[in-house]
Structure 1
Amino acid sequence: MDTIEQLLKQAETQHKIIELNMMFSKNMEFFREALPNIYEQFKDYQPTDIKIVIQEDGSLDLANINIDNKLVYGCDPVRFAEETVAGFLANPLAQRLNPDETDVLNMDIESHTPNINKIIRDLKAQNTDHSRVPLDSRTEFVFMLGVGLGYQITELLKHTDIQHLVIAETNLDIFFASLHTLDWQGLNDKFSARYKTLNLILGQTPDMFIHMVSHHAKQIGVFNLAKPYVFTHLSSQELTSATIKFLQNVPIIAGALGYFDDEKVGLTHSINNFKAKIPFMKNHGFLSKKFVTKPVFLIANGPSLDHAKDFIAENRDKAILVSCGSSLSSLFKLGIKPDFHVELERTHPIKEWIDVTTTQEFRDGITLLAVNTVHPDLPKLFNTTGMALKYNDLGGTFIEKYISDDEFSVTLGACNPTVSNAGLSFCAALGFTNIYIFGIDLGFPEGGKHHSAHSFHYDIKDEDIDSFQLAMPEDDIDFKLPANFGGNVISNPLFLRSKLSLESILKDCKEINCYNTCNGVLIERATPTKVTEIDTSTWKPFNKKEFTQKLYKEYFSNKHLLKLPNDSEIVKLFQPAIEALEKAHAVFDKDITSFEEGISMLIKNETITQNFVDAKETTTLGRLIKGSSDSFSLMLALCLNANNKKNGVPAFNSAKESYKKYLRAAQHAIKNNLLENDYSAFNIEQKLKK
């Protein structure tokens, strides 16, 4: 017979089970209305690895079903939540942005860069203390990894008013457990106020976490990422990886915003390239399933090119050679002429570089492949040019409307941020399926070279090297990525973006067999292959001139380019952008006296810009002002977060004056020189060593 104590214990357990089931039913009703996909996924869910258990003392825990019911918490989860939250409040983990200035090519005409550089200089002059400081009573953004039983969420919200909370959970069993312990409707209600958000990410990979957080940040306003906090609840390999990726990707998200002058130049160049009737890409090999099996050498200017130069020279008649960016000058020095040359950047110095570091005789017979934003003088250096529309680009979106519906126009995806990305994207669009990459290092061994030894970069005088914005080994010294042949290489956020972009193409175009010969970063779906391991025994020389000409005619045409409006009509189309900039200027007319007033201004600024982007009649124009609006709002938010919020108020008031100067300069640029080509130059010939 059971004792009274045992009967009471059984009753308590039974009561606990009833409580858990009642909470589950309540949550299911909530999700049935709020997120039906979660309701459908978990209404009949059965855990396979981790289940909720009731301990003898009445506390709950999670147990590993397949590991002898090993406990996840191993203690009272409520007490665990209180202790971990207390530790986080006292010493929180936050990603701190430390932006660098961007070189100004032409101080007289650039609107964005001179003014944002002023804010960056002022931020650095503050000598902000980067030690961890206790969490404040208001927190803008928290990325929580691991939901557990949810007690830490309610505990954290007792101490700080979180404006935007993202909760990511890789393990569906654990989320299922939380449906029995956490009042999800009550939690959602805490974020129902305007300008507050709760975002739930379930069962995704760390890479997808970052993609979804990036998308969410752009929806709520990138300024909220000025000081994002990371709270890791239960550790696991997946969550640790997600934490690292998040911290690495915040600077990448912030650095990929774009800005006014860049978009304006791209628009101008796109329009003038269109007027020149340059043939545009009309087909995509992977959409039409027209595959080309001949080997392709995709060549960039990284130091690994030096190890491959003899192999490339020996096999140049058996493969299609595609040079990317500055590798053209290295190949010129080596006496190796590519069949195609790819360019991505929009500025005039690209034309200047090629003109000075190669000869017309060398360029004759090379087909230029470029996106619509390149400088209109660049195609004049080559006998033949083929263009493709650049994805997510104002200029490409604008001129696409003037390509007849009778002609399919190709928009190149994943062609940023480096010219190597454009190179692989063009190769995929042309249907190539056997691609060998050389010199796409995207990282350097410590103390290693940043480009091929044959590059003209090393002919530039030391005092001029910074003006070219070269990625050097010593930059971002602590930013390391897995290397192609084992170990690590020093890299930077730009190169990580490039790596992810390359991987996205290879993932989408599964027919591509890619071989990475470089000593740089590991690229997923690109097989690490030493140059000495490439079997060329079945490769045969072929008439490459005839082959490339036929391929060009098949993929490029200007027969269906329609007539553009005249210049005054185009400028008139952009009048709404001037009006949106004026509205933003009015928001910042008075100084703030508190942190909250600064955030309110940033929200108003974001609302004006986003309304402009979302409106059907101005969507095409949105990119012209969106990037700079995001960049400046992020800088202003950084000022608010300087040292402490009291110091942030005067920093914000000073910084917003630079934003107002940008807004006036951008308005002037649209009115007076919207369609003028950019001729800012580096005077490269003078900078080369004699």
Structure 2
Amino acid sequence: MNTENNELKKMMLHATLLANMTLLKEKMPTLYDFFKNYHPINTGVVIDDNGDENLYNNNQFVYKEPPQSLAKKQVTKFLEKPAYYSYEIGHQSDEDIAFKHAALLKSIYNVRSNNTDNKISNPANESQLDFVCFLGGGLGYQIEVLLSMKSVPNVFLFEPNKDSFYALLHCIELRPLFEKCTNKGGRFSIRVGGDEHNVVNEISSFLFQQGHFNMSVMYFFKHYDSPLMTKIVEKIKVAGHSMHAGWGFFEDEIIGLSHTLANLNAKFPILKKPSLFKNPLQDSPVFVVANGPSLDLAIDFLKENQENVIIISCGTALKALLVNKIVPDIHVEMERVAGLLDWVNVVERTNDLTVKLKDLNIVALNTVYDEVLKRFKTAYLLPKVSDCGGSFIRGLDMKAQYTYPEYINPTVSNTSLAIADKLGFKDVYLVGMDFGFVSLDNHHSKHSIYFDSDFKHKELMKKLMKGDMYVKGNFRDRVLTTYTFDSSKFNIELLLEENKHIHAFNTSDGAFISNTIPKKIADIEINEKINNKKEKITKLLKEASSLDITQLSEIDNNIAEIKTRTKLILGHLISITTPYFNDRENLANAFTIQNKILLGLYGSPNHNDVSVYWLIQGTFRYFQTYIMVNTYYYSNSESRAEFMNACIDAFHSHLNDIYIEFVENYDKPAKV
């Protein structure tokens, strides 16, 4: 009889596999293509001595008890004490708040703080768990159990082992689980194989598609412990900070657009695609110089070799170079606020400098204040791809001649490396790109503005340079870093990963950077001099850029359309959250609908709609996520409903207020 039961179970396992392959073929064709003729190597599903499905590996059963019983125990334990990440914002002191969005976000915090005990008790007590990451699939029974007990619109399943996932395909039918998610407007996503970086990237993409408010509370269901699973959870928690660091706000985008318009009216040329010009200096070594503490170790080398190499200076590294009589060939800036002018003008205020801003070339993002660019000898623009102003330029680019590089944020080091790439340079040395520090007191070059006796922001820098975690070092075991530095380093790595033609050398005694070769500055030998370097750089920048004057005639028409479309779209988005919400689940559904509308703008063939997307998307992401996470602090349903509806009403008023500010200030300088 047992034999008959086992045969029947084997038939059912095979039938489940066939059903799952049909689903994968429909919904996840890449996975289907990989597994359609798959043969497991080390691990497989079998019927064990107790007649239960089990994994078999290394001549033994993996599960020591019935897998379905284990799944129920794991779910019970998870619901009693869930592992999760919750979204947080660090608020400024009241006297430092310059923007309306910052004031409103802090007021939301203040209300919640005054009305609750400031603790999230157990978010798994909610009837709906918005986003669960299942880390390790096993045979999958724990997924079935949890989704039978809780509403879970969004599921991300990561199984590192291909054999194990193939076994899972025999045991649980995925279609009902898939449909449970999609019927709620959610998504069931699967990742098989890879490391913590792949998983974090896929989760980031998942949140972009489904709405970042799902990271307000993000659950981690670990089916088993392993070093990889631990790395994934830690990486997600770190990446959570960097994910929202670049969202931006409506107010930021107004500043960026106004500066873009001023820069276009000033007729600063825009960098073209590399295929549209030739760089005669492409084989010359390029030193991209940032302001990390390792810059001090490279000063003598740069001074000695400055006629033999191309030097690109990043932001505040400029003063450190000039006081040491090192003149960069190209300077780069990327911050949008008008206050940047004060930082750049430190060069003009520094005694004994024979080289001034008017002697230098600058390449800057389109968002940089035009009064900064006008201080330089020549100025060129690099369109910022994830930006209202950058999208606006793209809408004017009828000949599709400009370049729109990725990975240019969050620091000027990212922008500078992207510029070096788009100008066609191949051999790049990273100097002062420490992305961390050996000592908290030694966070930037000693020659830079940060160590001037009259530097106004010393206390702020102490707060920013506190260090959030340790990472692998370039020339030592580890260094301390911040979330921002780590995010910047990660984007450097992605840029280099996608541009294999760049040979990058990391000279910094800071963080290790993947896709670079560690090389101490003392070990670099430069053998050839660059003749007429200054003239060649001038010619390169001129030939690598363009501004088609005919495009400028479309500015007024495009701005008028953007204003009209913004008003209509904001009205539509606001209408979705106008009803009174009695529970958090209905609010989450409304946020999901809003996100789908925003994604429609993002994918629009109309560049003006894309500009509207970049104007407003960050504000929606921040407020959706922050309102949502704060609801978890309220255990009483009536108090929660009152709080979240008050937040939504305040958010609606804020949107209307900032829209009026946009209409009135889109062509005026930054307010800070």
Question: TM-score, structure 2 length as denominator?
Answer: 0.91
1:405-416 pair list within 5 angstroms: 405=399, 408-416=401-409
**Aligned position for 2:427:** 434
- Alignment RMSD, CA only? 2.9
Query: Match for residue 685 of structure 1?
Result: none
Equivalent of 1:54 in 21, 42, 47: 47
- Is the contact made by 1:390 and 1:415 (CA closer than 8 Å) also made in structure 2? yes
Question: Of residues 383, 392, 401 in structure 2, which corresponds to 1:389?
Answer: 383
Spell out, residue by residue over 1:40-66, the C-alpha distance to the aligned partner (whole angstroms, 9 max, x if none).
4323210112212222122232233xx
Q: Report whether the alignment pairs 1:29 with 2:17.
A: no
| Alpha-carbon spacing, 1:553–1:255, altered in 2? closer, same or farther (3 Å) | closer
Q: How does 1:4-43 map to 2 (within 5 A)?
A: 8-43=1-36
Match of 2:511 in 1: 521
Equivalent position of 1:89 in the other structure: 79
Residue of 617, 623, 627 corresponding to 1:626:
617
Q: CA deviation at 1:242?
A: 2.6
Instruction: Give the distance between the partners of 1:286 and 1:53, measured in 2 at CA.
Output: 60
Farther-moved stretch of structure 1 (340-349 vs 656-665): 656-665
CA contact 1:116–1:658 (8 Å) conserved in 2? no
Letter matched to residue 347 of structure 1: V
CA contact (8 A) 2:276 2:401 kept: no
Matches within 5 A, 1:197-596: 197-284=187-274, 292-358=282-348, 361-405=355-399, 408-445=401-438, 447-459=440-452, 464-465=457-458, 472-476=464-468, 479-536=469-526, 538-540=527-529, 542-559=531-548, 562-565=551-554, 567=556, 570-589=559-578, 592-596=581-585
Q: Structure 1 residues 554 and 609 mapped into 2: Cα distance closer, same or farther (>3 Å)? A: closer
- Distance in 2, matches of 1:358 and 1:409, equals 32
Which letter does structure 1 place at the counterpart of 2:363? L
Following superposition of structure 1 onto structure 2, how do residues 102-251 of structure 1 map, counting pairs within 5 Å? 110-123=99-112, 126=116, 128-129=118-119, 134-251=124-241
Q: Cα offset for 1:654? A: 3.9
**Aligned partners of 2:48, 2:332: CA distance in 1, in Å?**
65
Describe the shift of the 1:11–1:400 C-alpha distance in structure 2 as closer, same or farther (beyond 3 A).
closer
Q: Compared with structure 1, are the counterparts of its residues 648 and 459 closer, same or farther at alpha carbon in structure 2 (3 Å cutoff)?
A: farther
1:265 Cα offset (Å): 1.2
In the alignment, is residue 659 of structure 1 matched against residue 651 of structure 2? yes
**Residue 36 of structure 1: CA displacement?**
4.0
Question: 1:286 and 1:63 mapped to 2: Cα distance?
Answer: 58
Question: Would the alpha carbon gap of residues 591 and 183 (structure 1) be closer, same or farther in structure 2, given more than 3 Å must change?
Answer: closer
Task: Describe the SS at the equivalent of 1:377.
Answer: helix
Q: Counterpart amino acid of 2:88?
A: N
What SS does the corresponding residue of 2:153 show, helix, strand or coil?
A: strand
Partner amino acid for 1:382?
F
1:598 aligned onto 2:587: yes
2:582, 2:462 → 1: CA distance?
A: 41
What is the aligned residue count? 664
Counterpart position of 1:75: 65
Distance across 2 between alignment mates of 1:238 and 1:100: 29
Q: How much has 1:561 moved relative to structure 2?
A: 5.2
Give the superposition deviation at 1:237.
Answer: 4.2
**Do the aligned residues in 1 keep the contact of 2:123 with 2:632 (CA within 8 Å)?**
no
Corresponding residue SS for 1:95: strand
Contact 2:311–2:330 (Cα < 8 Å) also in 1: yes
User: CA shift at 1:105, angstroms?
Assistant: 10
The verdict on how the C-alpha distance between 1:166 and 1:373 changes in structure 2, with shifts beyond 3 A counting, is same
- Identity over aligned pairs, percent: 27
Report SS of the residue matched to 1:53. Answer: strand
Q: Do the aligned residues in 1 keep the contact of 2:465 with 2:482 (CA within 8 Å)?
A: no
Are residues 455 and 32 of structure 1, via their aligned partners in 2, closer, same or farther at CA, if it must alter by over 3 Å? closer
2-structure distance, mates of 1:129, 1:445: 35
CA-to-partner distance for each residue in 1:418-467, whole Å, 9 max, x for gaps? 00000100111112122111111111235342211122122366874456
- Contact between 1:111 and 1:260, CA under 8 Å: does it hold in 2? no
Q: 1:546 to 1:217 in 2, by over 3 A?
A: same
Cα distance, 1:140 vs structure 2? 0.9
- Check 1:196–1:595 CA distance in 2 against 1; reply closer, same or farther (3 A cut): same
User: In 1, Cα distance between the equivalents of 2:309 and 2:528?
Assistant: 8
Residues 425 and 502 in structure 2, CA contact (< 8 A), matched pair in contact too? yes
Structure 1 length-normalised TM: 0.89
C-alpha contact 2:471 2:481 (8 A) present in aligned 1? yes
Distance, in Å, in 1 between the alignment partners of 2:665 and 2:183 is: 43
- Hey, what's the Cα distance between the residues in 2 that align with 1:172 and 1:431? 40
Tell me if structure 2 keeps the 8 A contact 1:94–1:229.
yes
Deviation at 1:614, TM superposition (A): 5.3
Q: Is the partner of 1:253 in helix, strand or coil?
A: helix
Question: Following TM superposition, by how much is the alpha carbon of 1:160 offset from its aligned partner in structure 2, in angstroms?
Answer: 1.9
SS, match of residue 191 in structure 1? helix
| Greater mean alpha carbon deviation, residues 437-446 or residues 602-611 | 602-611
Q: Is the 8 A contact 1:145 1:243 kept in 2?
A: no
Match of 2:651, as an amino acid? Y
* C-alpha contact (below 8 Å) 2:120/2:633 kept by paired residues: no
Aligned residue in 1 for 2:631: 640
Decide whether the 8 Å contact of 1:90 with 1:133 is kept in 2.
no
SS in structure 2 at match of 1:228: strand
Offset from partner CA, 1:233-268 (integer Å, 9 cap, x none):
134444433332222212222222221111111111
Structure 2: gaps spanning 5 or more residues? none
Letter in 1 for 2:108: I
Match of 1:673 in 2: 665
Residues 631 and 640 of structure 2 are in contact (CA less than 8 Å); yes or no, is this contact kept in structure 1?
yes
Structure 1 residue ranges without an equivalent (≥5): 1-7, 681-690
The answer to whether the 8 Å contact 2:466/2:482 transfers is no
Matched residues in 2 for 1:503 and 1:44: separation?
35
On the 8 A contact 2:45/2:167 being kept in 1, the answer is yes
Kept after mapping to 2: 8 A contact 1:571/1:670 = no
**Cα distance in 1 between the residues matched to 2:304 and 2:111:** 54
Q: How far, CA to CA, are the matches of 1:553 and 1:248 in structure 2?
A: 41
- Once residues 127 and 291 of structure 1 are traced to their aligned partners in structure 2, the CA distance between those partners, rounded to angstroms, is 63
Q: How far apart are the structure 2 equivalents of 1:166 and 1:645?
A: 30
Instruction: For residue 364 of structure 1, report the CA deviation from its aligned partner.
Output: 3.7
What is the letter of the counterpart of residue 543 of structure 1?
N
